[in-house]
């Protein structure tokens, strides 16, 4: 069963194009994580927050990534990291154009 991992945390940037350039290699490396299907990068410069929405192939891989990512962010001095994992309801999501969930 696919799961969504939602992560957000306080961030002073970079944002926008600078964020894209700064984290390009990190974005490429995320594709190598066990069970990752995709990630949407999120940012809000007004509220000084960043994070992402991830789709994983199962709960165990999402938990593994969340633990690793939380430790990485903490090593950068980032606190107040929020991570939540949700099961995906594929039939309802498909009604709302999430056709990629059903191969």
Residue ranges of domains in the chain, CATH in brackets: 3-101 (3.30.70.100)
Q: What is the rounded average pLDDT of the residues 28-51?
A: 97
- Residue 77's pLDDT is what? 94
Q: Is the pLDDT of residue 103 over 60?
A: no
List Cβ neighbours of 7 (8 Å cut-off, separation of 6 or more). Answer: 51, 52, 54, 66, 69, 81, 82, 83
- Residue of 87, 81, 88 lying closest to 50 (CA atoms): 81
Which tens digits make up the pLDDT trace of 52-76?
999 999 999 999 999 999 999 999 9
Tell if the pTM clears 0.75, that is, is over it: yes
- Residue 94's pLDDT is what? 87
- Residue 98's pLDDT is what? 84
- Residue 50's pLDDT is what? 97
Neighbours of 56 (CB within 10 A): 26
């Amino acid at each position: 069963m696919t799961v969504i991992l939602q992560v957000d945390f306080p961030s002073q940037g970079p944002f926008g194009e600078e964020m894209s350039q700064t984290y390009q290699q990190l974005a490429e490396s995320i594709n190598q994580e066990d069970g990752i299907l995709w990630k949407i990068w999120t940012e809000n410069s007004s509220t000084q927050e960043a994070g992402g929405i991830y789709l994983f192939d199962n709960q165990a891989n999402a938990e593994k990534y969340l633990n690793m990512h939380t430790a990485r962010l903490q090593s950068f001095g980032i606190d107040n990291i929020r991570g939540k994992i949700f099961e995906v309801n594929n039939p309802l999501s498909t009604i709302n154009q999430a056709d990629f969930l059903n191969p």
